[in-house]
């Protein structure tokens, strides 16, 4: 008989086993050790109290990791991973976990529920739609590796760049609130913000990113999380300037990524593709609740 427990009431070993077996034969490797698993909980704001693990007797067979946060005055939840062990797939375990998760959201006053799903995972997407989720946007994870062979982007001389911490963008009137969880400013550990200002000192766009350093202090990875332009502003030059600031570092031999980039952000998407970024993963961003 299947029993669903809160992760906080389980051993760490059982939770980790539920994760690793739940993502076997997945679209890409999701296996973790204890450190990576606990780091994920902490860095992505996932709550052991609100996350759940399914058991068959003493055996952990599936889980859903959940996070909750007040964003722009509304309580928002994120499903940070739904995994079911291979022998138990197609037997209603995923549906039972989702029903339990939605009940937890309701008990905690969640108004908007969000998640991402791999676009090829039609069975999971169908389940989420059955639970009331709808696709809000298509996402792509883009990657480029190696040295920069030419200038990819053009910096506008009419814009002034100001760097700071991710939190600097949180009060901007055009900061998007219902977006993939991992791209929010509060989840970007050791990240940086870039503000683009016009000649009147008005902020017309921003980017959020981080640089991952190797043991020798050199930049190994640059990750772009957001690239956003204020409404009513000519986007092309602002986005070009932001991308130039993030990525156009001469002779830097590293990996460059854009994480969960919405395809609706057409200019950014097109410019990155033109610069040689290629698709690594395609996902859908799904939302349940009133996002107006």
Q: What is the pLDDT of residues 9-37, one digit of tens each?
A: 999 999 999 999 999 988 878 899 999 99
Distance CA 257, CA 57 (A): 42
Domain-located, residue 117? no
Domain containing residue 96: CATH number: 3.40.630.30
DSSP 215-235: TTS-EEEEEEEEEEE-TTS-H
Q: Is residue 116 part of a domain?
A: no
Do 99 and 188 belong together in one domain?
no
Q: Are residues 157 and 258 in the same domain?
A: yes
Comparison of pLDDT for 238 and 28, the residue scoring more: 238
Mark whether 278 and 205 lie in a shared domain: yes
DSSP string, 254-272: EEEEEEEEETT-HHHHHHH
Q: What's the mean pLDDT when you consider all of the chain?
A: 94
Domain that holds residue 178: 141-288
Residue 23 CA to its chain's centroid (Å): 18
**Under DSSP, is residue 37 helix (H, G, I), strand (E, B) or coil?**
helix
Q: Are 146 and 106 in the same domain?
A: no
Residue 292 confidence class, pLDDT cut points 50, 70, 90: low
Q: Say if residue 282 is in the same domain as residue 183.
A: yes
Residues 147 and 102 in one domain: no
What are the tens digits of pLDDT across the range 48-90? 999 999 999 999 999 999 999 999 899 999 999 999 999 999 9
Same domain, yes or no, for 35 and 172? no
> What is the CB neighbour count within 10 angstroms for residue 58?
7
Residue 5 β-bridge partners: 53
């Amino acid at each position: 008989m299947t029993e669903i427990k809160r992760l906080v009431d389980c051993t760490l070993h059982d939770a980790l086993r539920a994760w690793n077996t739940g993502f076997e034969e997945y679209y890409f490797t999701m296996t973790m050790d204890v450190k990576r698993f606990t780091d994920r909980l902490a860095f992505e704001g996932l709550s052991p109290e609100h996350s759940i693990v399914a058991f068959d007797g003493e055996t952990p067979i599936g889980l859903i990791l959940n996070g909750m946060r007040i964003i722009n005055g509304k309580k928002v939840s994120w499903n940070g991973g739904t995994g079911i062990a291979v022998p138990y797939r197609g037997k209603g375990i995923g549906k039972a976990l989702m029903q339990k998760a939605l009940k937890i959201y309701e008990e905690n006053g969640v108004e908007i529920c969000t998640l991402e799903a791999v676009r090829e995972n039609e069975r999971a997407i169908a389940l989420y739609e059955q639970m009331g989720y709808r696709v809000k946007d298509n996402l792509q994870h883009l990657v480029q590796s190696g040295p920069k062979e030419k200038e990819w982007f053009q910096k506008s001389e009419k814009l002034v760049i100001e760097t700071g911490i991710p939190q600097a963008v949180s009060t901007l009137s055009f900061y998007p609130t219902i977006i993939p969880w991992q791209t929010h400013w509060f989840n970007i550990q050791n990240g940086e913000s870039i503000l683009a200002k016009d000649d009147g000192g008005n902020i017309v766009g921003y980017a959020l990113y981080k640089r991952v350093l190797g043991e020798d202090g050199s930049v190994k990875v640059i990750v772009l999380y957001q690239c956003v332009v204020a409404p009513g502003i000519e986007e092309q030059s602002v986005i070009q300037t932001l991308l130039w600031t993030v990525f156009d570092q001469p002779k830097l031999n590293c990996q460059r990524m854009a994480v969960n980039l919405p395809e609706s952000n057409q200019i950014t998407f097109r410019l990155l593709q033109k610069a040689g970024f290629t698709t690594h993963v395609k996902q859908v961003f799904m939302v349940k609740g009133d996002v107006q």
